[in-house]
Amino acid sequence: MSESQVALVTGAAQGLGYQIAGRLLAAGYRVVLTDVDGEAVKKAALSLDNTGNCVLPLTLNIAKKADFEAALADVLAFWGGLHVLVNNAAVTKATPVMEISPEEFNQVVNVNLGGAFVGCQVIGKYMAEQGYGRIINMASLAGQNGGTSTGAHYAASKGGILTITKVFAKELAANGVTVNAIAPGPIDSPMVKALVPEERLPTLLSAIPAGRLGNGDFIGDMVVQFASPEAYFTTGTTWDVNGGLFMR
């Protein structure tokens, strides 16, 4: 992997996005950390690289196409190129299905699915023009099995990500751009701990054939594999990382 390669990760101020950014950085990428919380993403960037040479923090609301366009312009002005996009940012809610209002449903789907769509559209267009790119969309086990601890709107949005991954993979393949997804099950992360009370954790673990929560750094290493130039023959796929909860 060339040292000149640049990767942008959304929702990177904490949790899985932060871990993914860290693994990309360790693999030699220069990393653009983005998050809707501008102050948090600045702190995250400093904790990964206090020199400021390899990490660029940017405020980005994935629900706004203009934000993606502005972020792309900022990255090109700062580093001159962008080679990898990781669509990780998402809103997670666990409202019972019969209690979800149309407004809440639309908000979650617009951010999670709409944000991934807009990211693929804006950054994918740029990558296609350059003749090279790697896009990795973070899906979820919830989008495959209907969800367990998460809400119907979250599960629906993640299921949609599986589909748009295939759509953009077909659209961009001829231009040297691959588009793949990773569908994690329960990961040892702040999101899972927020959704699953401590007293329910043994029940969750007992339902996982592997008997453990997943590892975020391993997810980050999978992203690194998808991001590599050698991954040119893998596109439109979804890699399952769920401890055996969903097999196909």
What value, to the nearest 5°, has the Cα angle with vertex 167 and ends 129 and 153? 125
- 132 in active site: no
- What is d(CA 219, CA 101) in angstroms, rounded to the nearest whole number? 33
- What is d(CA 139, CA 119) in angstroms, rounded to the nearest whole number? 14
- Residue 105's alpha-carbon distances to 51, 76, 100, 152, 185, in angstroms, are 41, 35, 6, 8, 22
Choose the catalytic residue: 18, 29, 126, 154: 154
- Residue 161's alpha-carbon distances to 2, 90, 112, in angstroms, are 29, 11, 8
- What is d(CA 100, CA 30) in angstroms, rounded to the nearest whole number? 40
Q: Residue 102: CB partners within 8 Å, gap ≥ 6?
A: none
Residues labelled as active-site residues: 154
